[in-house]
C-alpha cells in the first residue's frame, strides 16, 4: 500500500520533472522571449505541471485523489473550492483556464499561431510559481 505522503512526493517529483522540460533550449521562458517555437507544447507542459501540484495538494490534505477524467477532477475541484478549501478556490479559475487552453492547443491544428506571449507568460508563471506558492508546496 502506498501512503499518501509517498503519493504526494511522487506528484511533486513529476511536477518538477515536467518543469525541467520547460528549461530545455527548445522551450525558452515565454516571459522573456519573443521568438518561441512550440508554444502549444509550452502550454500543455505547464498544464501538467499544475495538475501534478494540485494532485500533490489533494493527497496532502486527504481529499479525493482518484479521477476517471479531467472533467471529473475539475468538477471535484469546483465542489471543494465552493464548500471548504480557500486555497483551491484562489487558484481554480486560472487552473481551469489553463486546462481549457491546453486542451485547445492539443486538439486544434496550428492553434499555436494564435497564442500571445503574454498568455504564455501567464500560463508559465501560474503553473511554476503562483500555484505551488498558493498551495504551500
Q: What is the pLDDT of residues 3-31, one digit of tens each?
A: 555 667 899 999 999 999 988 888 888 88
* pLDDT for 58: 94
Residues 51, 94: contact at Cβ < 8 Å? Answer: no
Q: How far apart are CA 135 and CA 90, in angstroms?
A: 9
* Side-chain half-sphere exposure of 1, counting CA atoms within 13 A: 2
pLDDT tens per residue, range 24-56: 888 888 888 877 889 999 999 999 999 999 999
Averaged pLDDT score across all residues of the chain: 90
Query: Considering the entire predicted model, what is its pTM?
Result: 0.91
Domain ranges of the chain: 4-135
pLDDT of residue 7: 63
End-to-end CA distance of the chain: 24
What confidence score (pLDDT) does residue 1 get?
41
Amino acid at each position: 500500500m502506498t501512503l499518501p505522503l509517498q503519493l504526494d512526493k511522487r506528484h511533486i517529483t513529476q511536477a518538477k520533472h515536467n518543469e525541467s522540460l520547460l528549461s530545455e533550449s527548445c522551450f525558452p521562458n515565454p516571459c522573456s522571449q519573443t521568438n518561441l517555437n512550440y508554444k502549444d507544447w509550452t502550454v500543455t507542459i505547464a498544464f501538467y505541471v499544475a495538475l501534478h501540484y494540485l494532485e500533490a495538494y489533494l493527497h496532502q490534505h486527504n481529499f479525493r485523489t482518484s479521477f476517471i477524467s479531467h472533467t471529473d477532477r475539475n468538477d471535484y475541484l469546483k465542489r471543494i473550492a465552493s464548500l471548504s478549501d480557500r486555497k483551491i478556490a484562489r487558484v481554480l479559475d486560472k487552473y481551469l483556464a489553463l486546462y481549457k487552453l491546453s486542451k485547445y492547443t492539443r486538439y486544434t491544428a496550428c492553434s499555436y499561431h494564435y497564442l500571445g506571449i503574454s498568455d504564455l507568460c501567464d500560463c508559465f508563471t501560474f503553473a511554476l510559481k503562483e500555484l505551488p506558492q498558493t498551495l504551500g508546496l
